Amino acid sequence: MSETDLKKEFDRIKEQKEDSLLSSLLYLSKYHKRPASKESLIAGLAIHNSIMTPSMFIRSAKNIGLIVKGVDRDLNEISSKALPAVLILSENRTCVLLDIDKDSKKAKVVMHHVSDSEEWYSFDELNPLYLGSMFIIKPAYNFENRVDKEVDIIDNKRWFYRTMKKNFFIYKLVIIAAILINIFVIFVPLFTMNVYDRVIPNKAIDTLWVLLIGICVVLFFDLILKLIRAYFI
C-alpha cells in the first residue's frame, strides 16, 4: 500500500462516525446493572464497517439479559413507563431517552455523539433529529436469581425464637385450651360411673338432672375450646 493510500485510509478512519447504537447499549448495560464492555457487546457479531446494525443491537442486548422492542412513537406519545429507551436519530445516530416532561415539552437524553452527560432538550430541538422510531429496553426476568443478593439471610434460630415471642399470646391460649380439653375428657366417664353406681340405684332423679346439665355445659365448652384451638393452629 502506497503512502497516499495509507493517508486516505487514515483520513477515512478519522472521519468515521461513532457507533451510536453500541454506545447507547453500553450505557444501558450499566443502567440496568448488566456490566459489559464494547468488546464483549460486539463479540460474535459480524460488524460491518465497525457500525452496529439494529438487528445486531437486539441480539447483543439479548446476550446481556435485556429485551428490546422496536416501536414507532412521536415524542408526545412516549410514556415515562417505557423509559429508558433509545431514539433513532438522523445520520445513523441515536440517543438514550431517560426522562420526558410533556408539560414543559422537554426530554432528558444522552447524546453520545455530543457528550456522555445527561442533558435536557426541548421537543423543538429533538423533533428535527428524531425519525419517529425507538427501541424500548427492559431487563429480562432472571428465574435463577429471584432473591436479591443484598437481602440478608436471617439466622434460623433467631427467626424461630423471634416468631415464638411474637405469637406467644396465641400459643398460650392454645396450650390452655388443650389442657382444659384433656381435663374435660375425664368428666364423661365420671358422669357415667356416678349415674349407674349411685343415681339409678337410689332413683335420685334431681341429682340426675343436675349431673346431666353439668355434663352438657362441659361438652359445650369442650366443643368451643376445640374450635378455638383448631382456628389458631
pLDDT band at 46; cut points 50, 70, 90: low
The three-state (H, E, C) secondary structure of the chain, written as one string: CCHHHHHHHHHHHHHCCCCHHHHHHHHHHHHCCCCCCHHHHHCCCCCECCECCHHHHHHHHHHCCEEEEEEECCHHHCCHHHCCEEEEECCCEEEEEEEEECCCCEEEEECCCCCCCEEEEEHHHHCCCEEEEEEEEEECCCHHHCCCCCCCCCCHHHHHHHHHHHCHHHHHHHHHHHHHHHHHHHHHHHHHHHHHHHHHHHCCHHHHHHHHHHHHHHHHHHHHHHHHHHHHC
pLDDT, position 63: 86
pLDDT, residue 7, reads 44
Q: Is the pLDDT of residue 72 over 60?
A: yes
Site of grid cell 423471634: 162
Residue 177's pLDDT is 84
What residues does each domain of the chain span?
Answer: 3-141, 165-232
What are the tens digits of pLDDT across the range 138-151? 888 654 444 444 44
Q: Is the pLDDT of residue 11 over 50?
A: no
Out of 126-130, 160-164, 180-184, 205-209, which region has the weakest mean confidence (pLDDT)? 160-164
Q: How confident is the model at residue 178 (pLDDT cuts 50, 70, 90)?
A: confident
Q: Which has the higher per-residue pLDDT, 15 or 186? A: 186
Answer whether 122's CB lies under 8 Å from 106's CB.
Answer: yes
Check whether 93 has a pLDDT greater than 50: yes
Task: For residues 91 and 51, give the distance between their C-alpha atoms in angstroms, rounded to a whole number.
Answer: 13
Instruction: Output the pLDDT for position 216.
Output: 92
How far apart (Å, rounded) are the C-alpha atoms in residues 123 and 116? Answer: 20
The backbone torsions φ and ψ at residue 154, rounded to the nearest 5 degrees and listed phi first, read -80, 140
pLDDT value of residue 227: 86
106 vs 155: which has the higher pLDDT: 106
pLDDT above 70: residue 12? no
Mean of all residue pLDDT scores within the chain: 80
CATH number of 3-141: 3.90.70.10
pLDDT digits (tens, 9 = 90+) for 117-165: 888 999 998 989 999 889 998 888 654 444 444 445 555 567 777 877 8
